[in-house]
Structure 1
Amino acid sequence: MSIATVINSGYMETARLDIHELVRRLNTHLGPTLVAALSGSKDAKQPIRWAKQGGPTPGPAFENRLRLAHRLWGYLADAESDHVARAWFIGGNPWLGEDTPITAIREDRHKEVTAAVTAFLQDVYDA
């Protein structure tokens, strides 16, 4: 399967996913503290509340970051493993100037972090 097919499929799945379920999945894989960090929430417990059906809904900027993180998680976990995906999110990344993807997502560097995951999946280093 081509990288374009993987990206298109991941985008469609994430776009259709209820935000509460999406946050629940991110919480399962990354933990609520990291989900709060990447979303930009100052409250580490907020992702737990967002994950509850009928709970509060994240604002638009938070939701945009959460949806991006979910898509990227899916690409990495499908291509590699959950362990590799988690390590990718929390480790310094050469494509991001050694910032973590969590920091890049929180700072709305979405094109940059998407290019970083694509380069990782294609096993290309051109920083």
Structure 2
Amino acid sequence: MPTAVTTGQHARTARMDVHEVAAVLVQGLGPTLVAAMTGSKDRKLPSKWAKPDGPRPSADFTRRLQLGHRVWVALSESESEHVARQWFLGGNPVLHEDTPITAIREDRGSEVIEAVESFLRGDPDV
């Protein structure tokens, strides 16, 4: 069943400039975690992407930024920024104990969406 993460938030994120998407994530997670999530080897690159006149991330990086943003907004608005950050960093049973950071980097988008939706519904850990 689609939720705000898979429908409404997707549309809002898709309409945003990628620099703004990066800025939200850098502010919430920090450039090092955003670099890890996107697969960038350069920890400073996310801060550059976050600048309105900064370089545009590649298609792969953009896809991961957009997924991360959808999840970040859903969690931070439903819970808090602290809970959202902890969710990104912790091993997740839906993701076979991988972190969401790792799953996003590995392009496991449908699993990440399933994991966040399960968390937001309050499903017991599986």
| C-alpha distance 5-94 of structure 1, shift in aligned 2 (>3 A) | closer
* Off by >6 Å, runs of 4+ in structure 1: none
Unaligned runs of 5+ in 2: none
RMSD: 1.5
Q: Which residue of 1 aligns with 2:104?
A: 105
Deviations 1:29-58 (A, max 9, x none): 000000000001000000011111121100
Aligned length: 126
Aligned residues with identical type, % of pairs: 54
1:51 partner letter: A
1:95 partner letter: V
CA contact (8 A) 2:5 2:71 kept: no
TM-score (norm: length of structure 2): 0.94
CA contact (8 A) 1:7 1:75 kept: no
CA contact (8 A) 2:37 2:104 kept: yes
More helix by share: 1
- Distance in 2 (alpha carbons) for counterparts of 1:83 and 1:3: 25
TM-score (norm: length of structure 1): 0.93
Unaligned runs of 5+ in 1: none
